[in-house]
Structure 1
């Protein structure tokens, strides 16, 4: 039975820029931003089991350390979902497994009053099915995906899925699910823009990762590119590049949202590319989502069931920030008055400076 979600009054995050009359030359431009933030919250015990039945009064939310004024209702948000599925040569052996679980995706992920769309990506971005509530349409759309080139425009697919969700009605919960390898190959857009756009549109991103070992052994073989760096010019240990793995080893990073914040701020400032090899990790952590993975069909079925369980048992919080004048990154912290609660949510959002 689906848990009734807890919401705070408000809907989506949006911006309104305008003037009562055209500004006169020489006068400062005044930009007004109106913001409401949606914050899905996963609450589990120490064993990873969902904690049901929490009351609104048990939640506290802090924006940049400032507790926010909240009003609480018990209301269900219908779901709008985009399934973005990799369809290039690398997943040729894995795609049949994905096609076989289309009905499971419909039953576990979309839910009552939900709608979904299907997007396939290789060097192209193909909308296989626009948003639909009709049973069976999603399964049929997934079955029509055929593998193409060696390119995998993962970041571009994420950006397109976010764009599709941004245009859905305001009263809907918005989720993007990426199914494919963790690496990007050929995107024109940048990860930074996709992350910011997801936060502005209140989109939660989840991934079902295809094992790179499987795609390496079974995928279409592509001749390796020549190494542009001469061996004598490569850095030796002692000058190790910043990657998610080395950051974790150096700083004891456990991958939770709070410890991810400094890395995300660096991405927003566009000064580091530490998630170049795994953009899925950045997309999920920056929006409060989660990564799942599989090797065989059974693992894929388990991942879909776990993903559906999380999405449909989350507590949904929305609020209107009292500190919108603070530009830059806004850290979100949620606490729950329960002795065994473990909380996961989006770490924050990026807000333009008000001039």
Structure 2
């Protein structure tokens, strides 16, 4: 079975240092010789100078880019497949077969940022998010994992920095409140990416975003979100709010005195109110990004240019899933699925044969077993504007 995917978590500059061993041997030999044949009297400065090794190239540096990709394998029943071996996998980088250098079930510590849309649109649905702290602390993070919380409404707020304390995380989520009416999803995701970039490079990095999937007025483009997430080794998962459900459950309020003050997003065209329908029509499906197949939560495989909303788009490129507002299941059930997936992935690492080829590198993973679906990240970027692979 073949799947595209991407994740390029690039670690570089391995240094193999032989200097320490060389000095140890040299010092031992010198000490023995000195004990047998004491040197003539000299000044301390002259002795120190003679003992120093010459300034020569005594270090061997090996430069290598290691690409690490988390891989999810699901059988025809929708169950995760755990019994695969390294020989069952084939990895292609831009169509070229690669040698797998590392293979295992994912066991790395997890660093997660929980992004919550907390504005007037999502306010009636925040009650579904507030009780979810135990799912993160007990099922997803594990004993070594840590999570932070970012909300966006009137502004982007880091309401909880990274913590391993489950009680702190649960308390913060229970107290999430709606503020303002902005929908700066891209800017909130960028804040989450920046926070994850500061975490240990060996950690798995994920974003779980609770949002209606719309972005209005962000300074960050969708291309920037995708490139930074891919090159930082971040997988994005989405849990969608339903705007229709929100409008049906929302309690009517008196309009504010100044409607512009309640919405920091870019205004709609003249004489056109900003509604869910015309917001969705502003989505252009990332015309400047390479077109790749994306997996949906339904199991369907689509082209990236027909993705319906940003969360579906970002999840597909980074190897995650987005459970949209169409889902009739409770949000906790969908979050449980994400937690199960994170604990059921394989980790594959390889060194690309042509690491200096700038541009987008597409990753494809094949598994030698019939009836399975394989999902990983779409690729990674090297060189060019906006490219800064994690190192």
TM-score (norm 1): 0.76
Question: Which of the residues 10, 20, 32 maps onto 1:13?
Answer: 10
Q: Look up the match of 1:46.
A: 76
Q: Distance in 1 between matches of 2:141 and 2:295?
A: 28
Look up the SS of the partner of 2:166 in the other structure.
coil
Q: In 2, distance between residues paired with 1:258 and 1:326?
A: 28
Aligned to 1:260: 303
User: Partner of 2:209: helix, strand, or coil?
Assistant: strand
Out of 286-295 and 181-190, give the one that drifted further.
286-295
Q: Secondary structure at the match of 1:90?
A: coil
1:70 aligns with one of 100, 108, 112: 100
The one of 148, 151, 158 aligned to 1:127: 158
CA contact (8 A) 1:58 1:337 kept: yes
Structure-1 separation of matches of 2:352 and 2:384: 14
Contact 1:14 1:201 in 2 (8 A): no
Instruction: Using the TM superposition, give the Cα deviation of residue 320 of structure 1 relative to its aligned residue in structure 2, in angstroms.
Output: 1.9
| Structure number with bigger Rg | 2
Q: 1:241 to 1:157 in 2, by over 3 A?
A: closer
> 2:167 matched to which residue of 1?
136
Does the aligned pair in 1 maintain the 2:242–2:325 contact within 8 Å?
yes
Aligned counterparts of 1:176 and 1:87: Cα–Cα separation in 2: 16
- Equivalent pair of 1:128/1:144 in contact (CA under 8 Å): no
Structure 1 position 148 matched with structure 2 position 179: yes
Q: Which runs of 5+ in 1 are unaligned?
A: 1-10, 17-32, 231-239, 245-252, 264-273
3-state DSSP class of the match of 1:94? Answer: helix
* Match in the other structure for 1:79: 110
Q: Which residue of 2 aligns with 1:201?
A: 232
Gaps of 5+ in 2: 1-7, 14-62, 261-266, 273-280, 286-292, 386-391
1:105-184 paired onto structure 2 within 5 Å: 105-184=136-215
Residue 246 of structure 2 is matched in structure 1 by: 215
Alpha-carbon contact 2:104-2:348 (below 8 Å) kept: no
Matches within 5 A, 1:328-343: 328-343=359-374
Residue 316 (1) aligns with residue 316 (2): no
Deviations 1:304-344 (A, max 9, x none): 11111111101111222111222222111101111222111
1:20-35 aligned within 5 A: 35=65
Any conservation in 2 of the 1:176–1:205 contact (CA below 8 Å)? yes
For 1:101-158, what per-residue CA distance to the aligned partner results, in whole angstroms no more than 9, with x for missing partners? 2222322221231111111111311111111111211111112211011102110011
- Contact 2:149/2:158 (8 A) holds in 1: yes
Cα deviation, residue 281, structure 1: 1.8
Decide which of 89, 102, 109 is 1:59's aligned counterpart.
89
Q: Deviations over 1:15-72 (max 9, x none)?
A: 78xxxxxxxxxxxxxxxx9532221111011221111111111111000111112223
Tell me, yes or no, if the aligned pair for 2:227 and 2:380 is still in contact at 8 Å. yes
SS at match of 2:112: strand
Moved more, 292-301 or 116-125: 292-301
Aligned pair in 2 of structure 1 residues 136, 294: CA closer, same or farther (>3 Å)? farther
Q: How many residues align?
A: 301
Asked if 2 retains the 8 angstrom alpha-carbon contact of 1:211 and 1:294, the reply is: yes
**Quick one: distance in 2 between partners of 1:108 and 1:197?**
27
Q: What is the CA–CA distance in structure 1 between the aligned matches of 2:328 and 2:159, rounded to whole Å?
A: 22
Instruction: Provide the residue aligned with 1:189 in structure 2.
Output: 220
- Give the CA deviation at 1:292: 1.4
**Structure 1 stretch 184-193 or stretch 78-87: which is displaced more?**
184-193
Q: Distance in 2 between matches of 1:298 and 1:73?
A: 34
User: Counterparts of 2:12 and 2:247 in 1: how far apart (Å)?
Assistant: 44
Give the Cα–Cα distance (whole angstroms) in 1 for the partners of residues 211 and 239 of structure 2.
7
